[in-house]
Structure 1
């Protein structure tokens, strides 16, 4: 689960630096679309390709339903202090609300619902998983809004390798790579995302303009530094600029996110 919102200022600075030098931004691992959205806002004249492999558009389409569910949950938790642990009865009421909507509509954005009732850093993708967790009153105030969020984007749902192959001959393209982090939750990629898959991504960096995101959990930067010492210019990430920030998920979980750029 990425923390790209903390890098928006840095990402914006990079985009402004290449303004006029590129005509396309290709977001190979689009996730929530935040980076694609930012790229289109900063460079409105550029073509921005958002690879929605996880089908985030389904969650956006369900925003009204999600707001209804959270409103119903909030009403049932009236009087419960923020971040307070729910009693078994309160927890049962929350699950009853979610189950009712899922049975009625056939779909519920469980991940977003979970972020409002689970401890910070915890997430689930199914009602079955949600039923296994302790819950807290973390329901956000107000409602989610997403009007116009994907306006102007070219939305595709492709394997990142196919998309790269389609766009790689454009010398005026900037590739944005935010692959699943090793040793972390990998969402839709979790069934196959291993070290070799990450190393395959590094092949895409050669000869391209890129912004690549990773973390110190993967130790991939240390690997690239070692390769740079051995193979110099031919090594992945050789001569790239690295920006870093520390993220705190909860009282016991911290890690360093990195944005690596070569233009």
Structure 2
């Protein structure tokens, strides 16, 4: 592990990869899990881009780290060469034709669409959305991508190789409400919970409807210390756990005296908001 590259951001783009929380995440792990993490299980139940799993394994190499790849990110990692090849083709025709971060004329968009359609390889919607759509917009299908105006946001260089990114990490794919109860009785099983934010649009996730109000309530009710729970003022999570404690309802004790770290951030034109990391050991 010592010679392995320590990634500070995910190799491929992913909305909500938590890189702004890495320093705090590392500090909380070091403060509460001794040494190399021997005997501990760290369960990244909503693994996203795997950055938290990668960081946990780097920091606590003797811990068992479980990455729940519900969004199929490892499939994307396996096709980085194709993603870079398509980027190269698009960049070649767009670079000198339209200023950076400007809308493409229809003729240029049509050329891009044709390149994508004719590309004989893996087509990564997440990357394509970042290259071609306005400021953080995401889509769930190629047809929806082609229906939008195209903008020149194509990155100038290839994505890095992901060699070793998930080395030593167990990759699974399972619903959180069957995964987490398996470890509920283990005091050395840390729940790392970064679900899609309730009350927000979820097009960037592979299964856009898989986390709704019922799932949110299920998750809150099976959460127990030790946990690290990520949320945002774009969601209702913090307000909900405040209500739970005030009215002493359901699983309120799990969130009593929990610690909170706040990071102020912004999402393009949407405006500023707070991201939260709530934890309790």
TM-score after normalising by structure 2: 0.87
| Cα deviation 1:123-158 (Å, max 9, x = unaligned) | 123211110111111111211121211111000011
Could you tell me which of 162, 171, 180 is aligned with 1:164?
Answer: 180
User: 1:189, 1:259 → 2: CA distance?
Assistant: 24
Q: Kindly tell me the number of residue pairs found equivalent between the two proteins.
A: 259
2:3 alignment counterpart: none
Structure 2 contact 266–272 (Cα < 8 Å) conserved: yes
Q: Give 5+ residue unaligned stretches, structure 2.
A: 1-14
Distance 1:15 1:24 in 2: 12
Could you tell me how far apart the structure 1 residues matched to 2:187 and 2:105 are? 58
Bigger CA drift: 116-125 or 147-156?
116-125
Rounded to whole Å, the distance in 2 between the matches of 1:252 and 1:226 is 27
Whether 1:87 aligns to 2:105 is yes
CA RMSD, 1 decimal: 1.8
2:71 maps to 1:54:
yes
Question: In the alignment, is the contact (CA less than 8 A) between 2:46 and 2:195 conserved in 1?
Answer: yes
Once the 2 structures are TM-superposed, how far is the Cα of residue 16 of structure 1 from its aligned partner?
A: 1.0
The answer to whether the aligner puts 1:185 opposite 2:201 as a matched pair is: yes
Choose the corresponding residue for 1:138, options 153, 160, 163.
153
> 2:17 touches 2:51 (CA, 8 Å); kept in 1?
no
Seen in structure 2, the aligned counterparts of structure 1 residues 241 and 61 have a Cα distance that, compared at 3 Å, is same
Confirm whether residue 5 of structure 1 aligns to residue 41 of structure 2. no
Which residue matches 1:45? 62
Q: Is the 8 A contact 2:177 2:218 kept in 1?
A: no
Instruction: Could you list the structure 1 runs, at least 4 aligned residues long, displaced by more than 3 angstroms after superposition.
Output: 232-236
CA distance in 1 between counterparts of 2:211 and 2:189 reads 26
Provide the C-alpha distance between the structure 2 equivalents of 1:93 and 1:262, rounded to a whole number of angstroms. 52
State the partner residue of 1:229.
Answer: 246
| Residue aligning to 1:68 | 85
Task: Identify if the C-alpha distance between structure 1 residues 24 and 158 changes in structure 2 by more than 3 Å, giving closer, same or farther.
Answer: same
Q: Output the TM-score relative to the length of structure 1.
A: 0.92
The 1:235/1:167 distance shift into structure 2, 3 A limit, reads closer
CA shift for structure 1 position 12: 0.9
Distance 1:57 1:200, change over 3 A: same
Instruction: Find the counterpart in structure 2 of residue 34 from structure 1.
Output: 51
Is 1:109 matched with 2:124? yes
The structural deviation recorded for 1:3 is: 4.7
User: Structure 1: where are the runs of 5+ without partners?
Assistant: none
1:182–1:195 Cα contact (<8 Å) kept: yes
Deviations 1:164-208 (A, max 9, x none): 1222232211110011111213323432432221011111223x2
Residue in 1 that maps onto 2:271 = 253
